[in-house]
Amino acid sequence: MNSREESAMLWRRATMILCGAVLLVLFAVGGSAEGDLLPHPPIEIIGNTGFTVENGVVGGSGTNEDPYLIEGWSIDAADSTFGVHVEGTTRAFVIERCRVFGASSTAIDLVDVKKASISGCEMGTSYFGLSAKNSDNLTIADNSFFDNDYAALFLINSSNNDIHDNLFHSGGPGILFYEKAMNNTVHDNVFDHCKIGISILSFAGGGSRIYYNDFLSCRAASEACNMWDDGRGTGNYWSEYGYKDADGDEIGDTPYRIFGSGYEYDYHPVINAFHPKTDE
């Protein structure tokens, strides 16, 4: 790296730090119409050079230890195809604590990305809430999906992703796996009155492990071969499960059948929800 490139990189990082500091000050004085979120136009990042302040990056250097941080934005995508679109990146990044809604296609759209984490975000009233295509090793955690028409989370040809502690509420399928979406881990989520909780159409895929989830007034369907428990004798909660627990071990005595041609079962359905609703 020559001196000119090094100076440019230092200036860019300093600008990100300054932007992050200004953002924190604005949060502290309540400079947002939506709590502590600030409005931002839709974001498009193509390639690693797209991680800029203008594209909502408030910190980070793109390494595994210090990923680029896109945080604290409220994005009204009512006049856009996407709220956030990231494509063709290899640097590590986090989209955190953002609200993205109203997109005609997808609230947050990831294509050919690696080393990404989506956490603490709200994605709603779009065709897809979050779509990941050809994107592996993602962490999708602690998010809220609501009223997304076709699917809240859509994974196509994306594998080895960790999906946990999310709320999928109403709309179309909570999670839709398509084509070679394989070896994903889905645990500790709540599927609340979705059209279907999880739909797996990975005919050439499978191998996902799905456990500790609450399916409230919705079922699951699969055309692949997956495992619906933690491998140690505990599966998922199904609100419509109507069989008995004669020995009182809180595991149903009869396996729960997953719709589809794969002849899959949750062999260890639990009797009580993992995440019981409260009045709070």
Q: What angle do CA 87, 89, 90 make, to 5 degrees?
A: 155
| Model confidence, pTM | 0.87
Cβ–Cβ under 8 Å, residues 210 and 234 = no
Mean pLDDT, to the nearest integer, of 88-116? Answer: 97
Whether residue 28 is predicted with pLDDT greater than 70 in this model: the reply is no
CA pair distance 68, 60, nearest whole angstrom = 4
Domain range for 144: 3-266
Q: How many CB atoms lie within 10 A of CB 30?
A: 9
Instruction: Give the N- to C-terminal CA distance of the chain in Å, as an integer.
Output: 55
CA pair distance 203, 81, nearest whole angstrom = 29
pLDDT of 205 reads: 66
In a domain, 23, yes or no: yes
In a domain, 134, yes or no: yes
In a domain, 274, yes or no: no
For position 17, which CATH number holds? 2.160.20
In a domain, 173, yes or no: yes
pLDDT of 9 reads: 46
In a domain, 20, yes or no: yes
Computed on alpha carbons and rounded to an integer, the radius of gyration of the chain in Å comes to: 20
In a domain, 112, yes or no: yes
Whether residue 4 is predicted with pLDDT greater than 80 in this model: the reply is no
- Tell me: the pLDDT tens digits for 168-213? 999 999 999 998 899 999 999 999 999 999 999 877 668 999 999 9
In a domain, 84, yes or no: yes
* Residue 2 binned pLDDT confidence (cut-offs 50, 70, 90): low
Task: Provide the domain count of the chain.
Answer: 1
In a domain, 273, yes or no: no
- Tell me: the pLDDT tens digits for 138-154? 999 999 999 999 999 99
pLDDT of 27 reads: 37
- Per-residue burial over 49-80, b if 16 or more Cβ lie within 10 Å, else e, is ebbeeebbbbbbbbeeeebbbbbbbbbbbeeb
pLDDT of 261 reads: 79
